[in-house]
Homo-oligomer: A and B are copies of this chain.
């Protein structure tokens, strides 16, 4: 094999620049480890972009046509760091068809067109790696595919969105409001000016689709994921949860029950002593329950140019190792199972309900009757002293099904004067 493996970079933003930095900083260690140098020889930029300083610094050729990379026989691996679906999807397909191996960090693309790309890579006998697409600095896909391959995973719970975790940390620790923390996250550059993908749970949902594939071999579509964000989450509910012994976290979960799974994203009450409750600020973590190992957790930065680039370079090194042995080898997703989603009647959880109650006699009795009829018990109830006209009552139910919870919600609306302010799952037995 050549002593130098050449790489074509699609996109030269912060992550692309990070890849150049990591390759430059660690070239000696990389060479020692894989017995070859990894060099980015060409980078695709948009016409009009000025990246000449970078090109000079890292000694690479800038091109504005994909063809210039695909037609270059010296380039063995293409790294896609443009983001979004198109043209990334088309470019990756063309690269695989041209015989290039591919590394990408594109979670949106993988979540929506992962199967298509994985199938194409297999047909073309090319490697397709995408560790950086889920929790940038955490090698979670590799860990599930290798170390947990002999295990039977039952739950994957993730704090996989750094922006919302930063916001929730500030809301809990500094008793700030949703609006204040969102503003701060935007000022710090964690949250984009349009924070929809973060705060509405969409970004986390993409990652849970990919994790579901790895953990359970099932191909889940975005519309099969129950998604709830943290938009408008009340500071009162966050501090009430804290008083009851829980930290509110945006949790992405994919949970297996018999032969079906339930994939969700939403704010969840996590018990203070649970390892996920200690994941602060913009950090990410993935917590796994499995029959062999039991409980394990993997913690690290979820984003950032250097962590993401480090993950991409680790993928590049894996591919070079495979090239050396002339094998394509296992792509991450060898394990497949028929996809089956747990029905709402079987989806069991405890719930946190926050209700605004009129200061009027008899209302609590009605609530108790509704719960009793649905055969759902209270585990904790807190009623705060009201302002004379209104008061807030907060309760945590015993474990119940989604179906029963919907009945309760409906009954509260129809039969009582309570207003449901907030509804969150509570993790644990």
- A32 interface hit (Cβ, 8 Å): yes
CA of A297 to CA of B297, assembled, Å? 8
CA of A399 to CA of B75, assembled, Å? 50
Instruction: Indicate with 1 or 0, residue by residue over A131-160, a CB within 8 angstroms of chain B CB atoms.
Output: 100000111001100111111100000000
Query: Which one of B296, B306, B325 lies within 8 Å of A294 (CB-CB)?
Result: B306
Query: Which one of B143, B292, B297, B306 lies within 8 Å of A310 (CB-CB)?
Result: B292
The answer to whether B294 touches A297, judged by C-beta atoms less than 8 angstroms apart, is no
The answer to whether A147 touches B142, judged by C-beta atoms less than 8 angstroms apart, is yes
User: A296 with B299: in contact, given A313-B150, A325-B327 (CB under 8 Å)?
Assistant: yes
Q: A146: which B residues are within 8 A, CB to CB?
A: 139, 142, 314, 318
- A268 interface hit (Cβ, 8 Å): no
Give chain B nearest CB distance to A417 CB in angstroms: 42
- A334 interface hit (Cβ, 8 Å): yes
- A422 interface hit (Cβ, 8 Å): no
The answer to whether A309 touches B330, judged by C-beta atoms less than 8 angstroms apart, is no
The answer to whether A137 touches B275, judged by C-beta atoms less than 8 angstroms apart, is no
Q: A318: which B residues are within 8 A, CB to CB?
A: 146
- A278 interface hit (Cβ, 8 Å): yes
Q: A293: which B residues are within 8 A, CB to CB?
A: 137, 300-301, 306-307, 310-311
Tell me the residues in window 96-151 of chain A with beta carbons closer than 8 Å to chain B beta carbons: 131, 137-139, 142-143, 146-151
Which of A283, A291, A293, A294 has the most C-beta atoms of chain B within 10 angstroms of its own C-beta? Answer: A293
Copies of this protein chain in the complex: 2
The answer to whether A297 touches B295, judged by C-beta atoms less than 8 angstroms apart, is no
The answer to whether A139 touches B147, judged by C-beta atoms less than 8 angstroms apart, is yes
The answer to whether A296 touches B137, judged by C-beta atoms less than 8 angstroms apart, is yes
Q: A400: which B residues are within 8 A, CB to CB?
A: none
User: A143 with B139: in contact, given A294-B301, A300-B296, A325-B329 (CB under 8 Å)?
Assistant: yes
- A298 interface hit (Cβ, 8 Å): yes
- A26 interface hit (Cβ, 8 Å): yes
CA of A33 to CA of B333, assembled, Å? 9
- A364 interface hit (Cβ, 8 Å): no
Q: A304: which B residues are within 8 A, CB to CB?
A: 294
Q: A94: which B residues are within 8 A, CB to CB?
A: none
The answer to whether B294 touches A150, judged by C-beta atoms less than 8 angstroms apart, is no
The answer to whether A151 touches B26, judged by C-beta atoms less than 8 angstroms apart, is yes
CA of A272 to CA of B296, assembled, Å? 21
A277 to chain B: closest residue by CB:
B278
Give chain B nearest CB distance to A366 CB in angstroms: 42
Which of A30, A149, A311 has the most C-beta atoms of chain B within 10 angstroms of its own C-beta? Answer: A149
CA of A372 to CA of B140, assembled, Å? 49
Q: A294: which B residues are within 8 A, CB to CB?
A: 137, 300-301, 304, 306-307
Tell me the residues in window 23-39 of chain A with beta carbons closer than 8 Å to chain B beta carbons: 25-26, 29-30, 32-34
User: A149 with B33: in contact, given A292-B310, A294-B137 (CB under 8 Å)?
Assistant: yes
8 contacts between A and B (CB under 8 A): A22-B292, A33-B335, A275-B279, A290-B310, A293-B301, A295-B299, A297-B297, A298-B299
